Amino acid sequence: MLSLVLVFSPSEKAFSSAGGTKKIVFWHITTDENGKKMIQGQVDRFVKAHPDFKVEVVPLQNDSFKTKLKIAMGSNQAPDVFVTWGGGPFFEYVRAGKVKDITAYMNENNYKNRFVEAAFGPITYNNKIWAVPVEGAGVALVWYNKEIFKKYNLKVPTTYDEFLNIVKTLKSKGITPITLANKTKWPGCFWYWNFVNKLGGPSAFERAAERMGGSFADQPFIKAGEMLQELVKIGAFPKGFNGLDWDTGQSRMLLYSGKAAMELMGTWQIPIVKAENKKFYENNLDFFPFPSIKGGKGDPTSLVGMASSNYYAVTTTCKYPKEAFNMIQYLIDDQAVKERIAYGQIPPVKGLKFSDPMLQKVYNIVAKAKSIQLWWDQYLPPQLAETHKDIVQSLFGLKLTPKAAAEKMEKAAKDYFKK
């Protein structure tokens, strides 16, 4: 146990910028080389403008970050600035009084207006703003290998029936239709959430999650489980997907090697693929939005995800909140926006133009979307989110029937909310 904590402690502490005596500790989760360098550069610009400050930048792996933050918050050793996705787990920290209310800072000189409106949903609580939207839009899209589609004469699908035909064709050609690494459970959930979103519309989930006349045992939730299991049964996913790890790239390896053709993943796929396999990014990668389902209530433009994938918040234990906020601004000033676009992100800032057609395409889709359904595991309270992820993983493993899964989730929600 202790060894685990030690291993997860950052080995790159030495990365701290030289500078003065006032210190800001800053945790983020951008661990690929390009991204780490970019953020460090933006922090360095802040330090240059504030020579009396020193910033300790700590990049952490996604899943270990969650634990580390939890322990640090609980033991009063929180960093001054940390990354967050907003939603349920973040509001736990807000309610516990660990996060600084930055509404006043955001309103100063109308700074808030710089960002797209949709970006504020997941970080607004009690009508106050608790974090700054910084990193690009993160919505789930279906990424695919252009070459494979060309080779087998496949057309980008707009309906689920067309999509299912593609899956079957690819399967018959000996290619794994969809790659998936579901050890950490959320990648598989992307399928379930998109199914529910297209089947029942965004309100289906919200009514169930807010306990406002909806139930997790309603038809769209059962149907989503059925459609998911149909994919599993026809062999749409790679062998062993429930044991593969997304963080270490086990799903993308299948994509790069041409063994698998598609992956449902967030737009952070762009910078990651760009960094990991530039050739693949330039020649093979493209995407389409999740296809609409016949008879489903969801709008064809509706998406799952968020307008900004990462936010940065200041803790209440921070000694220099004003400066910490100012440091965050350096992460998303005009210079930073340019750097982020070059890196492959779509910053949550108004009125952008892109030279990379892929980014422009994502930007248009996000701007056009009638609704963006926040990731359920960020929307739900953490305890329920964990139960939900376990249930979906069992659905994928064919260990639960769609009906039993839906009922189990409804029961968990009832127990949690006591209604």
Q: Does the protein bind other proteins through residue 66 (CB under 8 A)?
A: yes
Nearer to other proteins, 300 or 382 (CB): 382
Of 17, 34, 184, 401, the one binding other proteins (CB under 8 A) is 184
* Nearest alpha-carbon partner for 249 in 309, 187, 190, 167: 187
Of 20, 33, 51, 67, the one binding other proteins (CB under 8 A) is 67
Q: Does the protein bind other proteins through residue 248 (CB under 8 A)?
A: yes
Of 386, 404, 410, 414, the one binding other proteins (CB under 8 A) is 386
Nearer to other proteins, 226 or 245 (CB): 245
Q: Does the protein bind other proteins through residue 185 (CB under 8 A)?
A: yes
Which range in 249-257, 269-277, 285-293, 298-306 contacts other proteins by CB under 8 A?
A: 249-257
Minimum distance, C-beta of residue 123 to other proteins, in the bound complex (Å): 17
Of 60, 73, 132, 359, the one binding other proteins (CB under 8 A) is 73
Q: What is the CA radius of gyration of the chain?
A: 21
Q: Does the protein bind other proteins through residue 414 (CB under 8 A)?
A: no
Residue 312: burial class (beta carbons within 10 Å; 0-12, 13-18, 19+): buried
Minimum distance, C-beta of residue 230 to other proteins, in the bound complex (Å): 19
Q: Does the protein bind other proteins through residue 7 (CB under 8 A)?
A: yes
Pairwise CA distance, residues 357 & 362, whole Å: 9
| Residues 283-342 close enough to bind other proteins by CB under 8 A | none
| Residues 77-106 close enough to bind other proteins by CB under 8 A | 89, 92-93, 95-98
Q: Does the protein bind other proteins through residue 259 (CB under 8 A)?
A: yes
Q: Does the protein bind other proteins through residue 239 (CB under 8 A)?
A: yes
Nearer to other proteins, 179 or 345 (CB): 179
Nearer to other proteins, 182 or 373 (CB): 182
- Answer whether 141's CB lies under 8 Å from 288's CB: yes
User: How big is the CA angle at 52 (ends 11 and 135), to the nearest 5 degrees?
Assistant: 55
- Answer whether 384's CB lies under 8 Å from 414's CB: no
Nearer to other proteins, 258 or 300 (CB): 258
Minimum distance, C-beta of residue 3 to other proteins, in the bound complex (Å): 6
Nearer to other proteins, 29 or 141 (CB): 29
Which range in 220-228, 265-273, 311-319, 390-398 contacts other proteins by CB under 8 A?
A: 390-398
CB 272: neighbour CB atoms within 10 A? 19
Q: Does the protein bind other proteins through residue 383 (CB under 8 A)?
A: yes
Q: Does the protein bind other proteins through residue 250 (CB under 8 A)?
A: yes
Which range in 102-110, 113-121, 334-342, 383-391 contacts other proteins by CB under 8 A?
A: 383-391
Minimum distance, C-beta of residue 149 to other proteins, in the bound complex (Å): 21
Q: Which spans of this chain sit near other proteins (rule: CB under 8 A)?
A: 1, 3-4, 7, 66-67, 70-71, 73-74, 89, 92-93, 95-98, 182-185, 238-245, 248, 250, 253-254, 257, 259, 381-383, 386-387, 390, 393-394, 396-397, 399
